[in-house]
Chain A
């Protein structure tokens, strides 16, 4: 096995072990129904986490995701309430806005040479603030088209439902994998994470790539917001608080290096699954309290950070499979 697959393999092993453990205690958890719910309940997180994966692979961070999701929801709800626009038009509009929002943050990061942390922190405040400006109350969405969308599902064998939003997440992950591994842009993202100075020397267009990464993350946060509004049938400016943290956790548990340069979109999907699984387990158990989720996620974060630190250390020492001469 290749060294770079090791964190991803660890994610997969943990997922399978965790699911196995769940199964031995609650055999009912091995059903397409649970799997369908896992996909539906975590669809918005999964989509946002795909964007976060790109950002983190490039060596950056995007703290604005949760706020953008909330903004998107409020924007859609308010637009549907106050104008006669069709939801699809509103979707296109809001995706353009969030995409531009991300691109603007990317531009500030690159051209003003400011750390992504503080730039996206400003973005986080700004997006959440704009959501409040639009509406401070929870705005329900009752457009009939929403009902249509929410009713779309594919019945899996075993009566599980793959809903539209679960499907959107899987498609997003698929497209994300394609972009990451099969396009020049994707290679440039990894190159940036491997070292900006070297990437520049090798002719990677740094400015375009940086702006593109944050635009993509903004776009996916917008898509995640649309999915979230389909999931909750409302737009509320206080919703999706801290989703960026969950997304970061999912990315790291999915085996992506927080220092950038290495990681897989598919890993992030399993990171999201693991986090969803913990929650499902707690619900099934009934006696366990919800805070164990956070503690277990924190422990998993520690585990993966130490694992990756260990791998970097081992390869720099020339131990293990990391060093070879032909």
Chain B
């Protein structure tokens, strides 16, 4: 199962194929699914909706990908979203400055990431346990900031982040695509990506090679916190208010799922941000399709479960060992993406 990077198109074939199947199925069931139109200087249509609604999960998945690549996990991102949304809302209602609100929200997100990172890298607590603390307490902190109410605001600049449009493209789409592009540049144009993978595969050997593993780990959790802050600000701006109870609820699980669907192994190491973005879009396509179909939105839980089970089967080392002779005959391109050697 060697990973050949020579054919990048082929590498994401399963994800692209899945996405096309979901979209195709919806298009055949609901005529007009693929239509995109402009009204009031803004693009509308199901496809745009998928890109727009998928923004929080895509943003969370950026940070989550990096955290998972280090062999970690961050359960707190949903709660951090709620905290940062609350901070942004509270700031904008007291100061009236959207810039200040966003800056403070991002700073709080970074601080949350720092907290998680220190627990993991310095205190040596298992990531799943360390981030559980903020997952539980975070929502309480968010409610403390909003004082239990849905803190509404009307500041236009801030609302613009959630429901505005630039060059007829909804702002959240621009934000998450820009963030993803920046993150890809950051990890692939610097040595960060390679060093993160090295830590995830063998932290001890990396440290012995002079890699500053501790500081890098903290940085990665801070990036996850920052992504959650951006997602939380967008989510708050979208509904013109901070809902501490529901903002980002269970989105950490969607983000983990997006990363896994994208082809990054939960065991750490090699990661792909592009794959995770595709994963996020697959999840959102399923969500949107079910919404359009008239089923209650919670129905996609069954579909999500089925997707996870499918991935489990494909990723399972034990099952792969048993199927090995068969697999080889069937050609490896199909599965090599979802499977970590």
Give the B-binding residues of A (Cβ under 8 A): 61, 108, 111-115, 117-119, 121-126, 128-130, 132-133, 136, 237-238, 245, 248-249, 258-259, 289-295, 297-299, 301-302, 305-306, 309
Contacts and interface: CB of A to CB of B under 8 A. Distances in A.
Given A123-B305, A291-B148, 16 more contacts: A112-B313, A115-B266, A118-B308, A121-B253, A124-B253, A258-B126, A290-B148, A291-B142, A294-B136, A294-B143, A297-B136, A297-B140, A298-B133, A298-B136, A302-B133, A306-B123
B301 A132 contact: yes
B321 to A, nearest CB: 9
Nearest to A125: B305
A299 B137 CA distance: 7
Contacts of B135: 245
A129 B129 contact: no
- Which of A118, A133, A259, A292 has the most chain B CB within a 10 Å cutoff? A118
A249 B257 CA distance: 23
B214 to A, nearest CB: 16
B129 A112 contact: no
A97 B257 CA distance: 26
Contact of A293 (B140, B300, B305, B312): B140
B337 interface: no
B312 A258 contact: no
Contact of B140 (A123, A124, A258, A294): A294
Contacts of B315: 114
A113 B318 contact: yes
- Which of A245, A289, A292, A298 has the most chain B CB within a 10 Å cutoff? A298
Given A113-B318, A129-B301, A309-B123, A301 B308 contact: no
Given A126-B305, A130-B302, A136-B298, A295 B312 contact: no
A189 to B, nearest CB: 19
Q: How large is the interface on B (under 10, 10 to 19, 20 to 34, 35 or more residues)?
A: 35 or more
Contacts, number: 128
Given A112-B312, A113-B318, A136 B296 contact: yes
Contacts of A113: 316-318
Please list the 10 inter-chain residue pairs (A to B) with the smallest Cβ-Cβ separation, ordered nearest first: A298-B137, A294-B140, A129-B302, A291-B143, A129-B301, A126-B305, A125-B305, A122-B308, A112-B316, A295-B140
Given A113-B317, A114-B316, A291-B139, A126 B301 contact: yes
Main secondary structure, interface of A, reads: helix
Contacts of B73: 117
B186 interface: no
Contact of B260 (A118, A125, A136, A245): A118
A295 B144 contact: yes
A136 B136 CA distance: 27
Nearest to A119: B312
A133 B299 CA distance: 7
A126 B143 CA distance: 30
B266 A118 contact: yes
Interface in B265-312: 266, 296, 298-306, 308-309, 312
A305 B132 CA distance: 11
B134 interface: yes
B141 interface: yes
A276 B157 CA distance: 43
Nearest to B144: A291
B137 A297 contact: yes
B141 A295 contact: yes
B132 A248 contact: yes
25 contacts: A108-B312, A112-B312, A114-B312, A114-B316, A117-B73, A119-B312, A121-B308, A126-B301, A126-B306, A126-B309, A129-B303, A129-B305, A238-B298, A245-B132, A258-B126, A259-B129, A291-B139, A291-B143, A292-B144, A294-B136, A294-B137, A298-B137, A301-B132, A301-B136, A305-B129
